[in-house]
Amino acid sequence: MTMATPEIAFTFPFNIYKPVIHKTRLLLIGGKEGVGKSTLACVTAYYMSMLGYNTLLLTADPTAHIGIMLGSEIPPRVESVPAVPRLWTMHIDPREATRDYKEKVFSDAKDRFTKSNLTAMAEETEPCTEEMAVFDRFADFVGGSDFDVIVFDTIPTGLTLRLLELSFNYSEQVKVMVDKEESPLTQEQTRKRFDLISRVKDPDTTLFTLVVTPEATQVSEAHRTFLDLREAGIKVGLVVANRLLLPDPKADDFYRNRVEVQSNCLADIARLFPCPVAAMPLLTGEIIGLDLLKQAAELFFIWGADKLRNT
């Protein structure tokens, strides 16, 4: 068989994901809803733990999909997965994180800043408050982690990152304007955000992955995210072309047409994203349980890359 897009050369994901010695590797996996980012995050975390790395899988996905794959409920706190050595999981509830974030930020500020200052602060953060809150909760795991790898199935937009930076710059500006010292809480928030921004901008420890299905609209949206992150100073280290169809000479016309459409999209991916591209073939069914999760991990990290590279 010959792939219709020889322009693209798929990479082996582990070559990109490999942890750095004495540093926690942050693997942030994102993409539009429905492209399979939570599945890829679970597959990645499982595989890294199987290789012997102490791995934490964080998810903000409100569905139970990851729990179904692991055969274990994902708790709202860090807990080990009984059947998978060296793997821990935690669910970050976006609604709970947002409520706590707003309460923490504005309760600390309400007695110290003027009403107009608070209004300005709320207007600056409102466009993506939930995303900022989830990422703020993620920041709790960045510093001093005992894990070799942390996999998170959410990546912030460029706007979120800029607002997080603006927030600690803004606190300095407000302090000057009102001639008041920062509270210990504000100082801690500023330090945590500074550490977080520094880490996510460090390609030696953090790798951003964009998951995209080979469809024209999905590729276009993923490219906008790519550019948005680049404008915020973030380098995307890997793009995953998910749910690829392999050419099949026995397939019907509909299937062959879908393969051709995907091939054209792969050519666009090769042209639009100046970074390594990995491939995940379309699975025949839903991943339910550890046996199928193991097969999916081997497909993505070993067979899938090799097969798609050479077919």
Lowest mean pLDDT segment, chosen from 5-19, 46-60, 81-95: 5-19
Residue ranges of domains in the chain: 13-306
Q: What is the pTM of this model?
A: 0.80
The per-residue pLDDT for range 72-125, each reduced to its tens digit, is: 888 888 999 989 999 999 988 877 777 777 766 666 666 666 666 666 666 555
CATH class of 13-306: alpha beta
Cα separation, 187 vs 193, in Å, equals 10
Cα separation, 81 vs 78, in Å, equals 10
pLDDT score recorded for residue 296 = 92
* Closest alpha carbon to 183 in 119, 113, 135: 113
